Amino acid sequence: MSLFLHIDTALTVASICLSTESEVLDLVKNEQPQSHAAWLHLAIQQMMLAQKKSLQDLTAISVSLGPGSYTGLRVGLSSAKGLCYALQIPLLTIPTTLLLAEAVRQEATDYILPAIDARRNEIFTAIYDTELREIKAPHALILTKDSFADVRKTHQLLCCGNCNEKVQELLQDSAIRYSSTMATAKHLLRPAIEKFKLQDFANLSYVEPLYTKEFHSA
């Protein structure tokens, strides 16, 4: 049986998940954003022990690559890379915006708008359709009342993530709905398995977090 470890430390609430190719076996969350680094390795050990599994049983590891918290991204990716090096197993990297979109995919009727809080009026975002095809790649955005204006004219948007209030305050538009569904590492399962089947593995020597540092207003 294939066994996968999924890691997400990109957002305020970190989580890890153990799964087969089709079933979640365990999910553990940490709601203390300043302690993700100290929490992660112990949480993985405890979860494997609870499931009577060892790290050597793992087939591959997936990780939320960003954008998100710079510190959180480094914590998750460095841990995932270290384990993959030691175990000689593949690493699967998933954009955090895709993780958010996967979490609300069943709620969406048109386009999905993941939005991750950065600071002030800045967000990290992307756009996906209901099949999670990428319409607009992950990028940093200075949010204004004109943001996504062209898309809003022709599509309904389902906004998800950790800054719904910020988006709603600036974009008062009936074309945008808001989801309160919280994404966790279990939502890495489906996109990770798709990558695994395609053998779309990250290069452990060169992979870096997806920071998307430069902010633009359009």
Same domain, 81 and 124: no
Same domain, 157 and 49: no
Same domain, 147 and 134: yes
Same domain, 162 and 191: no
pLDDT band at 35 (very low <50, low <70, confident <90, very high): confident
Highest averaged pLDDT of the listed ranges 25-34, 192-201, 203-212: 192-201
What are the pLDDT digits (tens) for 117-152? Answer: 998 889 999 999 999 999 999 999 999 999 999 999
What are the pLDDT digits (tens) for 151-168? Answer: 999 999 999 999 998 999
Domain that holds residue 122: 97-178
Same domain, 89 and 189: yes
Structure confidence at residue 36 (pLDDT): 84
Give the span between the Cα atoms of 150 and 148, in whole angstroms: 6
Residue 97 has pLDDT above 80, yes or no: yes
Nearest Cα to Cα of residue 131 among 201, 197, 191, 64: 191
Q: Which residues contact 66 (CB under 8 A, 6 or more apart)?
A: 10, 73, 95, 96, 124, 138, 209, 210, 211, 212
The count of domains in the chain is: 2
Nearest Cα to Cα of residue 62 among 98, 94, 102: 94
pTM of the model: 0.94
Structure confidence at residue 62 (pLDDT): 99
